[in-house]
């Protein structure tokens, strides 16, 4: 505290090295997101070599989502009780190993096995990162910090789509082992992409091991809630699941992910098949517009939410509501238009809405849950979305095998987006005022 009794700037905004920590965890998430989404942008090459059906490609998405989300319940709790630094290093190491092994797979069963390992390896990372960021940044700037952190996801999707798709288009690389008495091994482009991205992940592991510290826990009080050291797994789960606003936020997230998963997983394939693009072109087109819009939404949404929260306790949730509302017309245009320029504009708006919504998902959650259950609350969000939404991408693949075009499916998903808007509006205006436990707008203003 200063001599006047007013909090020092570092106390008002968070840890002194908070931006450096943010850069490190953002790089970590960029790498993890790169690994998990590469499969979406190398599908034609993968199908060409291994002869997979669209149903099997959809099941590969589910092979990641189901174990990833089921394990969130336990691994989220671990990050509320133990060192998040160790959790992140272990998680990224398993991600690198599984991605490299995927590049050696020769059939559907092997691909499933390595996707499951990738999911289990990555599962603990996001809850741990959420806890680290909540402890490094105070409520005054959390939305901006989370939004900046989430910029790593659109950047990684563009990298996975453009670079991964371009490498997948390469002619097979021939490697001779005749000098040791062996033969010649051919590596298809999609395999090379796995190895390149795995090697990048290994370099990031070394960087995190050298530079990332374990932040102190903040905003925990011995006489309130779960206390300073947290509760048991049962107590922590009950503390989160007893909050009505949290349950509404989880419902909204599930509906939103049911709508978004097929877009993320199948859009590159849709543009490749319906518009005659190469894998590299389809990967670039399916990511650059949406992710550019998401960058704009994250940058604007974080700042807007932090300012709006100083005027109203519903400020952050209001920004999320605006973002989701933009999904409805965007999905309709993407699914029905035959003009690439119109689709590009709709994808830009979809990305803008995604940035406004996702940039405030964590912060709106932190406003209603016990500080000692933050990682668990984020883990449960991921668990719910995975268990209830992971089927939408494979279901879309199965429908496509039955000659239902992806465009029609994308248009229908706008109805789910509309439902998510209705539930979030109910949460914002009726439930949040009763469950809010963050600092009051008046208090934030006094600390300026």
Q: Residues of the chain with pLDDT > 90: what percent?
A: 41
| Per-residue pLDDT tens over the stretch 395-430 | 898 898 898 999 999 999 999 999 999 999 999 999
Q: Name the range with the highest mean pLDDT among 115-124, 169-178, 323-332, 399-408.
A: 323-332
User: In the structure, what pLDDT confidence band is assigned to residue 224 with cuts at 50, 70 and 90?
Assistant: very low
Checking if the pLDDT of 7 tops 50, the result is no
Residue 448's Cα: distance from chain center in Å? 32
- Tokens at 309, concatenated: 């929260």
Q: What is the pLDDT of residue 364?
A: 92
Checking if the pLDDT of 4 tops 50, the result is no
Q: What is the pLDDT of residue 6?
A: 41
Q: Residues of the chain with pLDDT > 70: what percent?
A: 88
- Is residue 378 within 8 A of residue 130, CB to CB? The reply is yes
User: Closest Cα to residue 220, out of 81, 88, 76?
Assistant: 81
Cα–Cα dist 252/51, whole Å: 37
User: In the structure, what pLDDT confidence band is assigned to residue 9 with cuts at 50, 70 and 90?
Assistant: very low
Q: What is the pLDDT of residue 164?
A: 87
Q: What is the pLDDT of residue 419?
A: 96
User: Closest Cα to residue 434, out of 282, 313, 294?
Assistant: 313
- The answer to whether the pTM exceeds 0.85 is no
Checking if the pLDDT of 208 tops 90, the result is yes
Task: Select the more confidently predicted residue: 399 or 279.
Answer: 399
| DSSP assignment letter at 224 | S
Cα–Cα dist 408/399, whole Å: 11
CA distances from 333 to 107, 247, 259, 336 (A): 37, 31, 14, 5
Q: What is the pLDDT of residue 218?
A: 66
Q: What is the pLDDT of residue 221?
A: 46
| Per-residue pLDDT tens over the stretch 87-141 | 899 999 999 999 999 998 888 999 999 999 999 999 888 888 888 888 888 777 7
Checking if the pLDDT of 230 tops 60, the result is no
Buried-exposed string 177-200: b where 16+ CB fall within 10 A, e elsewhere? eeeeeeeeeebbbbbbbbbebbeb
* Angle, helices 244-275/43-50, rounded to nearest 10 degrees: 70
Poorest-confidence range of 11-20, 123-132, 331-340?
11-20
| DSSP assignment letter at 171 | P
CATH 3.40.50.1370 fits 9-215+229-446, yes or no: no
Q: What is the pLDDT of residue 430?
A: 95
How close are the terminal C-alpha atoms of the chain, in Å?
A: 14
Q: Which residues pair with 174 in a beta bridge?
A: 186
Write phi, then psi, for 349 (nearest 5 degrees). Answer: -70, -40
How many other C-beta atoms lie within 10 A of the C-beta of residue 100? 17
Mean pLDDT of the chain: 85
User: Closest Cα to residue 37, out of 125, 127, 152, 161?
Assistant: 161
User: In the structure, what pLDDT confidence band is assigned to residue 1 with cuts at 50, 70 and 90?
Assistant: very low
Checking if the pLDDT of 197 tops 50, the result is yes
Q: What is the pLDDT of residue 2?
A: 33
Poorest-confidence range of 15-24, 312-321, 439-448?
439-448
User: In the structure, what pLDDT confidence band is assigned to residue 229 with cuts at 50, 70 and 90?
Assistant: low
CA distances from 321 to 252, 362, 366, 423 (A): 10, 14, 17, 10
User: In the structure, what pLDDT confidence band is assigned to residue 185 with cuts at 50, 70 and 90?
Assistant: low
């Amino acid at each position: 505290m200063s001599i006047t009794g007013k909090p020092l700037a570092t106390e008002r905004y968070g840890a002194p090295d908070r931006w450096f920590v943010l850069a490190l965890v953002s790089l970590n998430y960029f790498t993890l997101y790169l690994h998990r989404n590469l499969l979406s942008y190398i599908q034609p090459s993968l199908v060409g070599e291994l002869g997979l059906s669209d149903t099997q490609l959809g099941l590969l998405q589910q092979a990641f989502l189901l174990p990833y989300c089921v394990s969130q319940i336990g691994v989220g709790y671990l990050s509320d009780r133990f060192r998040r630094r160790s959790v992140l290093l272990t998680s990224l190491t398993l991600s690198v190993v599984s991605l490299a092994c995927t590049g050696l797979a020769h059939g559907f069963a092997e691909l499933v096995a390595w996707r499951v390992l990738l999911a289990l390896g990555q599962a603990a990372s996001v809850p741990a990162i959420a806890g680290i960021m909540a402890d490094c940044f105070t409520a005054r700037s959390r939305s901006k910090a989370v939004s900046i952190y989430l910029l790593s996801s659109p950047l990684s999707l563009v990298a996975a789509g453009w670079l991964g798709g371009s490498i997948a288009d390469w002619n097979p690389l021939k490697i001779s082992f005749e000098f040791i008495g062996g033969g010649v091994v051919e590596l298809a482009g999609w395999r090379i992409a796995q190895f390149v991205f795995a090697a990048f992940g290994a370099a990031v592991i070394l960087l995190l091991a050298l530079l990332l510290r374990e932040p102190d826990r903040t905003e925990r009080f011995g006489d309130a809630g779960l206390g300073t050291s947290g509760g048991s797994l049962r107590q922590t789960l009950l503390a989160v699941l007893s909050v009505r606003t949290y349950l509404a936020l989880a419902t909204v997230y599930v509906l939103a992910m049911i709508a978004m998963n097929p877009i993320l997983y199948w859009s590159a394939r849709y543009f490749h098949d319906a518009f005659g693009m190469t894998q590299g072109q389809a990967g670039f087109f399916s990511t650059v517009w949406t992710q550019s819009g998401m960058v704009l939404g994250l940058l604007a949404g974080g700042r807007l939410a932090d300012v709006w929260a100083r005027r109203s306790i519903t400020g952050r949730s209001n920004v999320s509501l605006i973002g989701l509302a933009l999904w409805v017309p965007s999905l309709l245009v993407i699914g029905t238009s035959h003009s690439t320029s119109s689709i590009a504009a709709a994808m830009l708006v979809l990305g803008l809405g995604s940035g406004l919504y996702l940039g405030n998902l964590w912060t709106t959650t932190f406003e209603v849950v016990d500080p000692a259950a933050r990682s668990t609350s984020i883990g449960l969000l991921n668990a719910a979305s995975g268990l209830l939404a992971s089927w939408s991408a494979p279901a879309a693949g199965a429908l496509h095998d039955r000659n239902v075009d992806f465009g029609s499916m994308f248009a229908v998903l706008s109805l789910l987006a509309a439902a998510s808007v209705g539930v979030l509006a109910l949460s914002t205006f009726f439930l949040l005022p009763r469950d809010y436990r963050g600092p009051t707008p008046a208090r934030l203003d006094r600390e300026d």
